[in-house]
C-alpha cells in the first residue's frame, strides 16, 4: 500500500503517479474536495481516497477499483469504461454520466441526473436520486434503493431502471415494465456486487416504451 | 413590359409576385401544409448575408511595399494550442477540416478527408459518434470532438487524438442538438453509439456533466489530466455571443477557440433554425478578436473561424480580421464531389438539383458522401477525392499568399484590418473596417 498526499504532491503528480504505476494498492490522502482526482486510470489497481472529492473523480476509469471515503462532487465516474467506483457518502449531480461500463456504487444519495446518458454502466445507489435521473439513458442498469425524483428516465432508450422506493414522476417515454425472473436475477447480482443489503423483491422496474424512437409529428406533445 | 389585358380586353397591371411571399416561401407554406412537419435539411444558412465578398483588400501603394510573387517567401504555417499543451498542432497551412461525423458521412468520405488533409499538411476533425479506426489511420493530425452526446467517447481514443475539441455549439444551430435519422443508422454506426440499429439518434444540445464556464474550466482540467497535459484543448462555439463566449472560453482554459458562423454546415437541422438563429460569420470575428485582445490572449489562444469559407480570399480576409486559421466543411465536401453536376439526374429524382441538394440526413446522397448506403458510398473513390481536396486546399493557400504578398506581408498572419475596406455599411460595421473610399467605420464595437 502506497500513500500519495494530494496536499503535498499536487493533483498532477498524484494523477501521473497513478497513470504510470503498473498496478498495486494506493491511498490518496488529503483530497480536500479537489477536482479530477484519479481520473483516466487504466490499470487493475485499487485506489482509496481518504476524504471528499470534487468534480469528475475517477472520470473515464478503466479497470481500476476506486473508493471515495467521503462525498463526491459532480460527475463522479463520468464516462467510466470498466472497473469499480464506489462512493461511501453522497454524490452530486450527473454521477456516472455517459459511462460505458463497470460498476458505480453510491452508498448514500445521488443528486439530479444520476446516470444521465449512461451507455452500458451499472449504477447502484443505496439511497435516493434527484430529478431527471437516467435522462436519455441508453444501456446499462440503474438501481435505486431509495426514491427517485421527477422525470425519471426521460427520453430513455434501452437502459433498465430498478427502484425500491417511490417515483415522483416518470419522464417522457418511460414506463413501468414487468420484472421478469431474468431481471430479478440481474438486480440480485447487482445488489450483491454493490454490497448493499436490500430485498430485490421490493423493487419495481422501469424502461422505455419505445414510442419516441422515430420522430413522429403526431407525438409532438410528448417532447 | 408589354401591356396586359384580360380575356375581355380589359387592361390589367402585369402579374406581380410578392417580395414577401416569394416563390420559395410559397412552396414552403405548401410543403408545411401538406406534411405537417418542419423542414429538416443539411448545410448552413442559404439566405444572403453580409459576407467576405463585401470586403476588399487595398493592396500595396506608395506607403506599402508589396512582395514579389513567386520569389519572396510568404509563410502559411500555424501552431495551434501552445498555451498549455505540451504537444501543440503544427500545420503547414491555416486551413483545417471541420468536424464531420462518421455516420453523417460515409467511411469513404472520411478517408478522403484524411487523405486530402494529410497531403496539404493540415488536420481533420471527428464528429458525433466517435473516432473510427479508418479516420485515425488516414489522418496524420486528428482533432477529436468531445460532444454533448458523448457517442463513442472513450479515453483510449482521447489519448490517440492530436487535439481535443469540446463542442459547445455550432454556427448552423447555436443552442441546438441534432438527430441522426434511423435510415443512416447501420449496425456499425449504432454500435459506435451504443444504441439499437435503425432508430433515430438524438444528439444532446448541452453537455451532461457541466454547465457554464466555471464547470467548463474543471472539465478542461479533467481532460488535460487524463491526457497528461499533452493535447491542445479546442473549444468550439456557434456564432451567437462571440465576445462573451470567447472571453469565457479563454477564462475556462481553452488553448484554441473555434468560432463557427451561421453559414457553417450541419448534417441535419430544422431549416428555420439554420436560417434564423445565430450570427453571420463576418459578424463574429471582430468581437471574438476584441475579447482576445482585451485579455492579452490574441495569438496566444488561437482563433479558428469557420462558416462559409470558400476560397483563398475568404481565408485571407478572416486572417486579416484576426483569425489564426480557418476551417472548411461544406467546401471540403464540394471538393470531394458533393453536389457535382455529374449526378444531376439523380438529384432531380430526389426533388433537388446539383448545387442545391441538402437532404444530407436522408442518406441517399448520389455523390456517396452523406450516406451509409454501401452502393452509393462506393461511388466515391477516396484516393481520387482526397487528391481533389488536397488540390483545393493548395489553391486556397496559394490565393491567400497571393493576396498577402500584394499587401506586403511575408506571412499570412501579418494581414490586418488596415489592409481591408468594406463595400457596404453593414459589412463595414461588422468587420470594423472603413467603408470603401471613406474613413468611416460605422457601428459600436461590442465589449
Which position has the grid cell 482540467?
B221
Disruptive mutation site among A38, A138, A140, A141 for chain B (greatest number of B CBs within 10 Å): A138
Q: Which of these, B186, B326, B339, B342, lies nearest to B263 by C-alpha position?
A: B326
Burial class (CB in 10 A: 0-12, 13-18, 19+), B188: middle
CA distance A88 to A90: 7
Residue B40 grid cell: 429538416
Can you point out the beta strands (E) in chain A?
2-5, 24-29, 45-49, 65-68, 84-87, 103-106, 119-125, 139-144, 160-163, 174-177, 204-208
State the DSSP string of B40-102.
EE-SS--S----GGGEEE---BTTBPPPPTTTS--B--EEE-TTT-SS-EEESSSEEEPB--B
Residue B186 has pLDDT above 90, yes or no: no
Predicted pLDDT at B163: 98
What residues of B are in contact with residue A155 (Cβ under 8 Å)?
A: 202
Contact A69, A90 (CB under 8 A): no
What residue ranges define each of the domains in chain B, with the CATH number in brackets? Answer: 52-337+380-431 (3.20.20.70)
Predicted pLDDT at A122: 98
Disruptive mutation site among A14, A15, A53, A60 for chain B (greatest number of B CBs within 10 Å): A60
Verify whether the Cβ–Cβ distance B199 to A213 is below 8 Å. Answer: yes
CA distance B429 to B431: 6
Verify whether the Cβ–Cβ distance B153 to A98 is below 8 Å. Answer: yes
Predicted pLDDT at A146: 98
For residue range A106-151, list pLDDT tens digits in order. 999 999 999 999 999 999 999 999 999 999 999 999 999 999 999 9
Q: Is A54 on the interface with B (CB under 8 A)?
A: yes
Q: What confidence category does residue B178 fall into, taking pLDDT thresholds of 50, 70 and 90?
A: confident
For residue range A36-45, list pLDDT tens digits in order. 999 999 999 9
CA distance A132 to B211: 15
Residue B206 has pLDDT above 80, yes or no: yes
Residue B183 has pLDDT above 80, yes or no: no
CB atoms within 10 A of CB A127: 18
What residues of B are in contact with residue A217 (Cβ under 8 Å)?
A: 36-37
Residue B299 has pLDDT above 80, yes or no: yes
Nearest CA in chain A to B197: A213
For residue range B407-444, list pLDDT tens digits in order. 999 999 999 999 999 999 999 999 999 999 999 999 98
The conformational region for residue A132 under phi > 0 = left, psi -120 to 50 = alpha, else beta, is left
For residue range B325-354, list pLDDT tens digits in order. 999 999 999 999 999 999 999 999 999 999
Q: Is A214 on the interface with B (CB under 8 A)?
A: yes
- Tell me the count of A-B CB pairs closer than 8 A: 100
Residue B196 grid cell: 439499437
CA distance B66 to A36: 52
Q: What is the 8-class DSSP label of residue B180?
A: E
For residue range B365-400, list pLDDT tens digits in order. 999 999 999 999 999 999 999 999 999 999 999 999
Q: What confidence category does residue A30 fall into, taking pLDDT thresholds of 50, 70 and 90?
A: very high
Q: What confidence category does residue A10 fall into, taking pLDDT thresholds of 50, 70 and 90?
A: very high
Predicted pLDDT at A223: 59
Which position has the grid cell 501603394?
B61
Q: Which of these, A169, A178, A186, lies nearest to A209 by C-alpha position?
A: A178
Which position has the grid cell 486572417?
B319
Task: Tell me how long chain A is.
Answer: 223
3-state SS, residue A51: coil
CB atoms within 10 A of CB B118: 18
Residue B447 has pLDDT above 70, yes or no: no
Burial class (CB in 10 A: 0-12, 13-18, 19+), B319: buried
Disruptive mutation site among B38, B184, B209, B253 for chain A (greatest number of A CBs within 10 Å): B209
3-state SS, residue A118: coil
Q: What confidence category does residue B180 fall into, taking pLDDT thresholds of 50, 70 and 90?
A: confident
Predicted pLDDT at A53: 98
Average pLDDT over residues B72-78: 97
Q: B135 to chain A, minimum CA–CA distance in Å?
A: 22
Task: Quote the percentage of chain B above a pLDDT of 90.
Answer: 85
Q: Please tell me the class of the A2-212 domain.
A: mainly beta
Q: Which of these, A12, A26, A63, lies nearest to B228 by C-alpha position?
A: A12
Verify whether the Cβ–Cβ distance B209 to A157 is below 8 Å. Answer: no
Angstrom CA distances, B157 to A119, B139, B143, B164, B261, stand at 16, 13, 11, 10, 28
What residues of A are in contact with residue B215 (Cβ under 8 Å)?
A: 55, 74
Q: Is B19 on the interface with A (CB under 8 A)?
A: no
Rg of chain B taking only CA atoms, in angstroms: 23
Contact A97, A136 (CB under 8 A): no
Cβ neighbors of A138 (< 8 A, separation 6 or more) are A117, A118, A119, A120, A157, A158, A159, B193, B194, B195
Residue B445 has pLDDT above 90, yes or no: no
Verify whether the Cβ–Cβ distance B218 to A54 is below 8 Å. Answer: yes
**Closest by Cβ to A217, choosing from B37, B209, B228:** B37
Residue B214 grid cell: 466555471
Cβ neighbors of B388 (< 8 A, separation 6 or more) are B116, B335, B336, B337
Contact B332, B97 (CB under 8 A): yes
Element housing A77 (H / E): none
CB atoms within 10 A of CB B154: 18
3-state SS, residue B170: coil
**Cα separation of the two ends of chain B:** 52
Residue A215 has pLDDT above 80, yes or no: no
Contact A70, A51 (CB under 8 A): yes
Mean pLDDT, chain B, rounded, equals 95
Average pLDDT over residues A60-68: 98
Query: Do the bridges between strand A204-208 and strand A174-177 make them parallel or antiparallel, or are there none, so unpaired?
Result: antiparallel
Predicted pLDDT at B366: 97
What residues of B are in contact with residue A79 (Cβ under 8 Å)?
A: 150, 153-155
Verify whether the Cβ–Cβ distance B199 to A19 is below 8 Å. Answer: no
Q: Is A19 on the interface with B (CB under 8 A)?
A: yes
Verify whether the Cβ–Cβ distance B196 to A74 is below 8 Å. Answer: no
Q: What is the 8-class DSSP label of residue B434?
A: P
Verify whether the Cβ–Cβ distance A214 to B218 is below 8 Å. Answer: no
Cβ neighbors of B87 (< 8 A, separation 6 or more) are B162, B230, B231, B232
Q: Is B36 on the interface with A (CB under 8 A)?
A: yes
Cβ neighbors of A80 (< 8 A, separation 6 or more) are A58, A59, A60, A61, A62, A96, A99, A100, A101, A102, A104, A121
Which sign does the torsion angle of CA B289, B295, B300, B306 carry? negative
Does pTM top 0.90 for this prediction? yes
**Closest by Cβ to B208, choosing from A81, A116, A157:** A116
Q: What confidence category does residue B187 fall into, taking pLDDT thresholds of 50, 70 and 90?
A: confident
> Could you say which residues from 119 to 178 on chain A have a Cβ atom under 8 Å away from some Cβ of chain B?
119-120, 135-136, 138-139, 155, 157-158
Q: What confidence category does residue B3 fall into, taking pLDDT thresholds of 50, 70 and 90?
A: confident
Contact B282, B49 (CB under 8 A): yes
Which sign does the torsion angle of CA B48, B49, B50, B56 carry? negative
What residues of A are in contact with residue B221 (Cβ under 8 Å)?
A: 35-36
**Closest by Cβ to A120, choosing from B37, B194, B218:** B194
Average pLDDT over residues B144-155: 95
CA distance B128 to B434: 41
Contact B66, B405 (CB under 8 A): yes
**Closest by Cβ to A214, choosing from B36, B200, B204:** B200
Q: Is A57 on the interface with B (CB under 8 A)?
A: no
The conformational region for residue B367 under phi > 0 = left, psi -120 to 50 = alpha, else beta, is alpha
Which position has the grid cell 487523405?
B115
Tell me the H-state helices in B369-443. Answer: 374-377, 382-406, 425-431
Contact A51, A31 (CB under 8 A): yes
Predicted pLDDT at B446: 78
Query: Do the bridges between strand B233-238 and strand B201-203 make them parallel or antiparallel, or are there none, so unpaired?
Result: unpaired
What residues of B are in contact with residue A98 (Cβ under 8 Å)?
A: 150, 153, 208-209
Q: Which of these, A142, A216, A146, lies nearest to A174 by C-alpha position?
A: A142
Residue A74 grid cell: 459532480
What are the beta bridge partners of residue A123? A104, A142
Q: What confidence category does residue B192 fall into, taking pLDDT thresholds of 50, 70 and 90?
A: confident
Residue B201 has pLDDT above 90, yes or no: no
**Cα separation of the two ends of chain A:** 52
Predicted pLDDT at B198: 81
Residue B180 grid cell: 441522426
Amino acid at each position: 500500500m502506497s500513500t500519495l498526499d494530494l496536499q503535498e504532491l499536487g493533483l498532477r503528480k498524484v494523477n501521473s503517479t497513478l497513470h504510470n504505476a503498473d498496478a498495486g494498492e494506493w491511498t490518496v490522502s488529503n483530497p480536500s474536495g479537489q477536482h479530477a482526482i484519479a481520473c483516466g486510470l487504466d490499470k487493475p489497481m485499487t485506489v482509496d481516497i481518504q476524504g471528499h472529492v470534487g468534480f469528475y473523480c475517477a472520470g473515464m476509469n478503466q479497470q481500476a477499483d476506486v473508493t471515495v471515503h467521503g462525498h463526491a462532487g459532480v460527475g463522479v465516474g463520468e464516462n467510466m469504461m470498466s472497473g469499480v467506483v464506489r462512493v461511501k457518502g453522497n454524490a452530486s449531480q450527473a454521477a456516472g454520466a455517459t459511462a460505458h461500463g463497470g460498476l458505480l456504487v453510491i452508498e448514500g444519495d445521488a443528486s439530479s441526473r444520476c446516470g444521465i446518458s449512461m451507455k452500458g454502466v451499472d449504477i447502484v445507489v443505496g439511497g435516493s436520486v434527484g430529478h431527471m435521473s437516467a435522462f436519455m439513458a441508453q444501456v446499462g442498469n440503474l438501481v435505486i434503493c431509495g426514491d427517485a425524483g421527477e422525470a425519471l428516465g426521460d427520453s430513455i432508450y434501452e437502459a433498465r431502471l430498478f427502484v425500491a422506493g417511490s417515483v415522483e414522476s416518470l419522464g417522457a417515454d418511460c414506463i413501468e415494465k414487468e420484472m421478469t425472473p431474468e431481471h430479478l436475477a440481474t438486480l440480485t447480482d447487482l445488489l450483491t456486487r454493490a454490497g448493499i443489503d436490500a430485498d430485490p423483491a421490493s423493487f419495481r422496474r422501469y424502461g422505455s416504451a419505445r414510442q419516441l424512437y422515430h420522430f413522429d409529428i403526431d407525438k409532438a406533445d410528448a417532447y | 413590359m408589354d401591356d396586359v389585358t384580360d380575356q375581355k380586353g380589359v387592361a390589367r397591371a402585369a402579374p406581380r409576385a410578392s417580395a414577401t411571399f416569394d416563390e420559395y416561401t410559397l412552396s414552403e407554406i405548401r410543403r408545411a401544409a401538406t406534411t405537417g412537419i418542419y423542414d429538416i435539411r443539411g448545410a448552413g444558412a442559404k439566405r444572403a448575408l453580409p459576407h467576405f465578398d463585401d470586403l476588399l483588400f487595398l493592396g500595396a501603394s506608395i506607403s506599402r511595399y508589396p512582395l514579389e510573387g513567386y520569389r519572396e517567401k510568404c509563410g502559411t504555417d500555424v501552431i495551434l494550442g501552445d498555451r498549455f499543451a505540451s504537444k501543440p498542432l503544427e500545420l503547414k497551412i491555416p486551413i483545417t477540416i471541420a468536424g464531420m461525423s462518421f455516420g453523417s458521412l460515409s467511411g469513404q468520405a472520411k478517408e478522403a478527408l484524411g487523405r486530402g488533409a494529410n497531403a496539404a499538411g493540415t488536420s481533420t476533425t471527428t464528429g458525433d459518434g466517435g473516432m473510427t479506426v479508418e479516420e485515425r489511420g488516414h489522418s496524420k493530425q486528428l482533432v477529436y470532438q468531445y460532444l454533448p452526446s458523448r457517442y463513442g467517447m472513450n479515453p483510449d481514443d482521447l489519448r490517440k487524438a492530436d487535439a481535443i475539441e469540446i463542442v459547445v455549439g455550432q454556427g448552423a444551430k447555436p443552442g441546438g442538438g441534432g438527430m441522426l435519422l434511423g435510415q443512416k443508422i447501420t449496425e456499425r454506426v449504432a454500435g459506435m453509439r451504443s444504441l439499437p440499429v435503425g432508430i433515430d439518434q438524438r444528439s444532446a444540445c448541452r453537455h451532461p456533466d457541466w454547465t457554464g464556464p466555471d464547470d467548463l474550466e474543471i472539465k478542461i482540467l479533467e481532460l488535460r489530466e487524463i491526457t497528461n497535459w499533452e493535447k491542445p484543448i479546442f473549444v468550439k462555439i456557434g456564432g451567437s455571443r462571440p465576445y462573451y463566449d470567447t472571453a469565457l472560453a479563454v477564462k475556462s482554459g481553452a488553448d484554441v477557440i473555434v468560432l463557427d458562423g451561421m453559414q457553417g454546415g450541419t448534417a441535419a437541422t430544422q431549416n428555420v433554425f439554420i436560417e434564423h438563429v445565430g450570427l453571420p460569420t463576418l459578424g463574429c470575428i471582430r468581437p471574438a478578436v476584441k475579447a482576445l485582445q482585451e485579455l492579452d490572449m490574441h495569438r496566444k489562444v488561437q482563433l479558428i473561424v469557420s462558416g462559409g469559407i470558400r476560397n483563398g480570399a475568404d481565408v485571407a480576409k478572416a486572417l486579416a480580421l484576426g483569425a489564426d486559421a480557418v476551417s472548411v466543411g461544406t467546401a471540403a465536401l464540394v471538393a470531394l464531389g458533393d453536389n457535382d453536376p455529374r449526378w444531376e439526374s439523380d438529384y432531380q429524382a430526389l426533388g433537388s438539383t446539383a448545387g442545391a441538394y441538402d437532404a444530407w440526413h436522408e442518406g441517399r446522397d448520389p455523390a456517396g458522401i452523406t450516406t451509409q448506403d454501401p452502393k452509393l458510398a462506393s461511388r466515391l473513390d477516396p484516393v481520387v477525392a482526397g487528391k481533389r481536396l488536397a488540390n483545393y486546399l493548395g489553391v486556397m493557400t496559394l490565393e491567400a499568399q497571393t493576396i498577402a504578398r500584394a499587401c506586403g506581408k511575408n506571412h499570412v498572419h501579418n494581414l490586418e484590418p488596415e489592409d481591408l475596406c468594406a463595400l457596404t455599411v453593414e459589412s463595414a460595421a461588422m468587420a470594423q473596417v472603413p467603408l470603401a473610399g471613406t474613413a468611416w467605420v460605422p457601428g459600436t464595437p461590442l465589449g
